[in-house]
Amino acid sequence: MTADHIRELARRSGFELAGVAAAVPTADRTRYHEWVAAGRAGKMGYLTDRRAAVRDDPRHLLASARSVICAAKLYQTPWPHSTRFHDAECAWISRYAWGEDYHGVMRSGLERLEGLIRESAGAPFESRICVDTAPLLERSFARLAGLGWIGRNTCLINQQQGSWFFLGELLVSLEIAPDAPPPDRCGSCMRCVEACPTGAIVPGEGLDATRCISYFTIELRRAIPEEQRAGIGAHVFGCDICQDVCPWNGRALVTDDPAFAPRQFAPRLEDLAAIPEEEFRAMFRGTPLIRARYSGFLRNVAVAMGNARLAKFRAPLEKLAASEDAVVAGHAHWALMRLAR
C-alpha cells in the first residue's frame, strides 16, 4: 500500500486531494498550546479542555495508528464571493454552510475510502474515521501529508486548487510511507490581514478567534463586543473574506456536487428577522446553521440590520427589541441606535 495508491482510492471516493502522514505527534502541538494559553480560543471550551491534550498525538484516538490518511473535498460553488456581493437587504452566510452539513458528507466519503483500502490491503487493520469533531490537529497533518501549506489566514492552501476544502482523516494501523509537506508560498502577501474587518489575523501569531467574525456569529453564546459589531457587516453566520481575497483562490476549481448547492443564498434580512423558532429549525435542518442556535441567529440578524442602516428595518428591529431573550433585545436596541444615527 503506497500513498499514490491511497490517492487513487481517494479520488474514487469523491475526494480531490489525499495524502499520508505518520501517526506521530507534530511540532505544531507546541504552537497550538501556546495559542490556547494566550487566550486566542476565546470561549471555545472544546479547544481548551481535556481534549486539548488529546490533540497532541493521533494515537490517543487509535492506539495502533501508524499512518494518518488525510483527504480533502472541494466545496466552492460557482456563486459569487462575499467580496463581490453587495445587497444591503440581504444576509451573508459562509459558503461552507450553504448546503448539507459537511460532517455527514465527509464521513460517507471516508467510509467509502476505508472500504476500498480494506479490499486492497490484503490483511486486516484497525482504523478510525475523523472529521473536525475529533480532537486532532487536522490542518497540521494535512500539511505533513502534502495537501498544502497552512496560510497566513490559517487555512490549508493547495497551490493548484486553493483553500476551499473540507478536511477529513482516516487513522490506520497500516505502515504507509508518508508524503512530504510543501513549502509555504504565502510569501510577503498580506491581503487576508488587510481585508479582515475585525483585525482577527495577527501577523506572526495567526488567527485570534476572539476577533473573528466566524467566532462571533457561530461560537459565541453571549453578547458580541460592541466595538466589533460594525465590522461584522452583513454576516449572520461565518465569514469567508480571508479566503475570498486570497490570490491562490483566484483560479480555484468549483464543484458541481449537489450536496453543497445553496439552499438559501443570501436570504433577505427582513425575512430572517421574522421567522419563528420552529421555522428556523425546519429551514436550516441538516445544515451547519443550526449550530448558531435560534437566539444567536436572531442576534446576528439584528447586528446585520444595524450595519445596513436601512429605515425599512426599523419595524423588524423594534419587534426583536421586545424579545424576551436579553441578548437578542440588546443587539436590536444597538441596531436601532445605528439607524437613528
Positions marked catalytic: 132
DSSP for 176-240 reads -----PPPP--TT--HHHHH-TT--EETTTEE-GGG-HHIIIII--SPPPHHHHHHHTTEEE---
**Residue 12, all three cell numbers:** 474514487
Task: Report the half-sphere exposure of 18 (CA within 13 A, side-chain side).
Answer: 26
Q: Is 303 in contact with 230 (CB distance < 8 Å)?
A: no
How many C-beta atoms surround the C-beta of residue 260 within 10 A? Answer: 23
Distance CA 320, CA 341 (A): 19
DSSP bridge partners of 170:
69, 129
Distance CA 183, CA 180 (A): 10
Task: Report the half-sphere exposure of 310 (CA within 13 A, side-chain side).
Answer: 18
**DSSP strand pairing (206-207 vs 201-202):** antiparallel
Which own/partner pairs from 147-150 qualify as long-range (CB within 8 Å, at least 24 positions apart)?
Answer: 147/17, 147/18, 147/19, 147/70, 147/72, 148/17, 148/182, 149/181, 149/182, 149/183, 149/184, 149/185, 149/186, 150/184
Q: What secondary structure letter does DSSP report for 117? A: H
Distance CA 150, CA 147 (A): 10
Q: What secondary structure letter does DSSP report for 61? A: T
Distance CA 184, CA 22 (A): 20
How many C-beta atoms surround the C-beta of residue 151 within 10 A? Answer: 22
